[in-house]
Amino acid sequence: MSRVLIIGACGQIGSELTYKLRDIHGNDNVIASDISFSNLDVVNSGNFEILDAKDYNAVKVCVEKYDIDTVYLMAAMLSATGEKYPMRAWDLNMNSLFHVLNLAKDGCIKKVFWPSSIAVFGPTTPTNETPQHTIMEPTTVYGITKQVGERWCEYYHKQYGVDVRSLRYPGIISWKTMPGGGTTDYAVEIYHKAITESQYKCFLSENTKLPMMFMDDAINATVNIMQAPSKNISIRSSYNLAAMSFTPAEITDSILKHIPEFTISYEPDFRQQIADSWPKSIDDSLARKDWKWEHTFDLDAMTDEMITQLQKKYSSSEKVS
């Protein structure tokens, strides 16, 4: 039985990964950790530790305390926040990765999951059906940290045999935990505002097409790549991963099928430039071939689920207050 540590477990993806891994491995075998108690649902769902991913000794002590063999490193500073604090983004995103890779290199843990992002691509990358291997000249600090991180993952695998696995997540959309400062956050906020105010002011322009994925698919992809036999993992930098691509105008049309009075306005800010540097769609055929990746949710299926779950959430919080 695997003993798992999730670092950054209170975040948008880490929280749902924690619940899923607790289901798979059993509550006692999954240790959630974060720098603060920012998500009480996660904190109260089982073992939880306050842990700074930048502190090598603290991570090592936690790994030894719980006899951890697998680490999911979900802590990072995301694209939009990273542009505000470039040095802090570099410090967190790179040092946390080195700490975990070095623990694996030294035999303290056996397996590592570390997420990359479509932010590794840049304005010179082919934008449609972006291939696995292509030009990568990211222009954000976040994208630079992910690209460099990918290189180090591959290096640690080749030089030291570290079993590290990685996915280039597209924008992830979910209803349980709010996103943490990325360029695709609009695609979560829009559902909340559609339900609570029937209107939304979008920080990207109406025809900005980006690759996106519903959380359930992202969690399944993460679990699947980690469960795949090592011989099936041909990419040790990070796999392209895709489900759907849409624009703010297209998500609006999907929402209008449920909330006909919904209106959207557009006021692009600094995040438009980031979005414009990213691909519109991703070729993930290698993930589909190597470890049989398949997505489930398209835009309308995701909209159904988001609206159903958020309506329940808001109506139960109204009853409480």
Binding site for ligand NAD (CB under 6 A): 7-8, 10-14, 34-36, 38, 51-54, 74-76, 78, 92, 115, 117, 169, 171-172, 179-180, 182, 184
Shortest CA distance to 284 belongs to which of 228, 225, 198, 203? 225
Shortest separation between residue 106's beta carbon and ligand NAD, angstroms: 20
Nearer to ligand NAD, 31 or 161 (CB): 31
Q: Min. distance of Cβ 10 from ligand NAD in angstroms?
A: 4
Catalytic one among 142, 169, 186, 239? 142
Report residue 14: phi and psi, to 5°: -55, -40
CA 239 to chain centre: 13
Nearer to ligand NAD, 50 or 257 (CB): 50
Q: Whole-number minimum distance, CB 105 to ligand NAD, in Å?
A: 20
Nearer to ligand NAD, 53 or 162 (CB): 53
- From the list 137, 105, 132, the residue with the least C-alpha distance to 234 is 132
- Token readout for 275 is 């979005």
Q: Are 168 and 240 a contacting pair, CB within 8 Å?
A: yes
Cβ at position 255, least distance to ligand NAD in Å: 19
When the beta carbons of 82 and 319 are compared against ligand NAD, the nearer one is 82
Is the Cβ–Cβ distance between 106 and 161 less than 8 Å?
A: no
142 in active site: yes
Burial class (CB in 10 A: 0-12, 13-18, 19+), 227: exposed
Instruction: Report, as residue numbers or ranges, the catalytic residues.
Output: 142
